[in-house]
């Protein structure tokens, strides 16, 4: 079990996050994905636009704090492979000196990919996470150039064909390995390699780059987690080629099943999904829908859900959140993501405790490494004040918790029950065994068996309800027909770590 958290939003610093894990969250997690803490952690994209990817923002701590965390927990850290901040020392030198800068080749321009120019068909064929073309007009030295900026004009894409850019990424990898990091998450890696005549998204050249980067990470003792939002068949292909891949189809499929009573698409996915997955319901980004929809890259392959079902899914989230998600999604807010709905998962389910715990139970019983986002751990509500303050859609799901709030939220019945469920998943020996997926009609059963121990979850989606059955150390069998009771039925598990 791993927690996903910003150090500044759950604790306030790296050492304070460590104290939260050891204190109020003791026994819940064996690992933590610490979202970007580099200089600066509060830039244009919440740390995903590092000025210096090898330096920790001193407001959050030091590399010694990361090492202390890694001594006790599996630590996952982002490797931002596609871009750096426009305020980085290297790019500022290129802005000032242009081609005379020793860093000029490190950053990508349109002419690097299309030296003879690009046709209209080539440009509209570039796969985009947001509206518009991926270029910003900037003056480099004394020349006006089209600089490649996949996400925002503050995030300058690296030219990964340039030795200086590769050397930069290797310095970052080495720094993370020296700090005891166990796994690196390749942020936005699908867009990192640009190749003329292609979509420049998850092309053979991209896979070759991932292979090379993964080999280097393994040399340094780290695994690689790939972050890709794409058609489900592409996710399956990616999963077979990497250490770990996110299961981004699970969150929308569970929302669909719980809101319609129809788990058939979920069953289909569970039959074919990669088992080397990291399972999530929520992250620092929005709830992905492209992962279950029809192929957006021209092939036209159908998705796990029809276009009509995807539309109903999105509208259902807007309705259950009282319209709050609509205010934070798409054209309504900056940082536009054409494939995500910005909303906490708890609010996406209309703050229904039963439905929320069922979704979490399915997540934790689905094979893979479960990660729980800090707002989801506390069954958080949409932060409309923060959204109004920043105008950034994803901030609706990035609340800043004070110590008093953490204590108060952990006492809520739904959060206490989720903590009991997490302890069960972390400590029960059956989860070291194998999982069998079964069910028909509106039901789903996930059964884990390890030695003489077992744990089984059965969910009925038509009228959402769940039954949990597990064996105990003395050979007895326990049954829970109301997941809210888990805070009492499984309150401890001191052997969790």
Report the candidate in 250, 497, 263, 468 with the shortest Cα–Cα distance to residue 361.
468
Q: Which residue has the tokens 């920043």?
A: 390
Backbone angles phi and psi of 92, in degrees to 5: -65, -35
The C-alpha atoms of residue 30 and residue 27 are separated, in whole angstroms, by 8
The C-alpha atoms of residue 360 and residue 355 are separated, in whole angstroms, by 9
Active-site residue identified among 45, 57, 65, 227: 227
Report the candidate in 365, 345, 367, 364 with the shortest Cα–Cα distance to residue 356.
345
350: exposed, middle or buried (Cβ count in 10 Å: 0-12, 13-18, 19+): middle
Query: What is the bridge-based pairing of β-strands 453-460 and 369-373?
Result: unpaired
337 is catalytic: no
Backbone angles phi and psi of 62, in degrees to 5: -145, 175
The C-alpha atoms of residue 285 and residue 274 are separated, in whole angstroms, by 22
Backbone angles phi and psi of 224, in degrees to 5: -125, 130
187 is catalytic: yes
Q: Where are the beta strands (DSSP E) in 38-170?
A: 38-39, 52-56, 74-80, 83-85, 135-140, 143-148, 155-157
Q: What angle do CA 13, 14, 16 make, to 5 degrees?
A: 65
Per the CB < 8 A criterion, the answer to whether 467 and 480 are in contact is: yes
The C-alpha atoms of residue 372 and residue 378 are separated, in whole angstroms, by 10
Active-site residue identified among 187, 282, 353, 409: 187
| DSSP type of residue 40 | -
Per the CB < 8 A criterion, the answer to whether 278 and 368 are in contact is: yes
What Å distances lie between residue 343 and 149, 277, 284, 298, 361, CA to CA?
26, 23, 10, 29, 20
Backbone angles phi and psi of 220, in degrees to 5: -90, 5
Report the candidate in 272, 269, 192 with the shortest Cα–Cα distance to residue 228.
192
Give the long-range contacts of residues 442-448, CB within 8 A, separation 24 or more: 442/261, 442/262, 442/263, 443/263, 444/257, 444/263, 444/266, 444/267, 444/270, 444/362, 446/362, 446/365, 446/366, 448/365
- What amino acid positions are annotated as catalytic residues? 187, 227
């Amino acid at each position: 079990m791993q927690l996903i958290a910003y150090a500044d939003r759950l604790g306030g610093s790296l050492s304070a996050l460590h104290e939260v894990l050891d204190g109020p969250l003791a026994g819940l997690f064996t690992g933590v994905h610490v979202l970007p803490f580099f200089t600066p952690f509060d830039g244009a994209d919440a740390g995903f636009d590092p000025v210096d990817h090898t330096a920790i923002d001193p407001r959050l701590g030091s590399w010694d704090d990361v090492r202390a965390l890694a001594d006790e927990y599996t630590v996952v850290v982002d490797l931002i492979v596609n871009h750096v901040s426009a305020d980085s020392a290297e790019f500022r030198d290129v802005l000032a000196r242009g081609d005379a800068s020793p860093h000029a080749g490190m950053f990508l321009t349109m002419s690097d990919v299309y030296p003879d120019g690009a046709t209209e068909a080539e440009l509209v064929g570039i796969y985009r996470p947001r509206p518009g073309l991926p270029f910003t007009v900037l003056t480099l030295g004394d020349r006006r150039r089209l600089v490649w900026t996949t996400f925002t004009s503050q995030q300058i894409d690296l030219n990964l064909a340039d030795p200086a850019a590769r050397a930069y990424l290797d310095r970052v990898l080495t720094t993370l390995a020296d700090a005891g990091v166990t796994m690196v998450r390749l942020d936005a890696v699908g867009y990192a390699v640009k190749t003329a005549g292609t979509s420049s998204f998850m092309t053979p050249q991209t896979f070759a780059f991932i292979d090379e980067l993964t080999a280097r990470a393994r040399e340094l003792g780290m695994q690689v987690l790939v972050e890709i939002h794409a058609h489900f068949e592409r996710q399956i292909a990616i999963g077979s080629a990497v250490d770990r891949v996110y299961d981004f189809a699970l969150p929308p499929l569970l929302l669909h099943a719980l809101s319609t009573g129809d788990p058939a698409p979920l069953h289909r996915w569970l039959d074919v999904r990669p088992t080397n997955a990291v399972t999530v319901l929520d992250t620092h980004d929005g709830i992905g829908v492209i992962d279950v929809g029809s192929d957006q890259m021209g092939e036209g392959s159908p998705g796990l859900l029809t276009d009509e079902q995807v539309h109903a899914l999105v509208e259902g989230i807007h309705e259950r959140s009282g319209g709050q998600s609509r205010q934070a999604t798409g054209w309504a807010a900056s940082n536009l993501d054409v494939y995500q709905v910005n909303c906490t998962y708890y609010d996406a389910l209309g703050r229904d405790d039963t439905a929320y715990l069922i979704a979490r139970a399915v997540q934790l019983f689905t094979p893979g490494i479960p990660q729980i986002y800090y707002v989801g751990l506390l069954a958080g509500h949409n932060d409309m004040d923060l959204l109004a303050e920043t105008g950034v859609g994803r901030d609706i799901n990035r609340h800043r918790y004070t110590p008093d709030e953490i204590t108060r939220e952990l006492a809520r019945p739904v959060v206490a029950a989720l903590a009991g469920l997490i302890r069960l998943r972390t400590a029960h020996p059956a989860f070291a065994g194998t999982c069998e997926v079964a069910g028909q009609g509106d039901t789903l059963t996930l059964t884990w068996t390890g030695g003489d121990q077992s744990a089984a979850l059965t969910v009925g989606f038509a009228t959402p309800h769940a039954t949990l059955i597990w064996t105990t150390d003395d050979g007895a069998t326990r049954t829970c027909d109301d997941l809210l009771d888990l805070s009492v039925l499984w309150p401890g598990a001191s052997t969790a770590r």
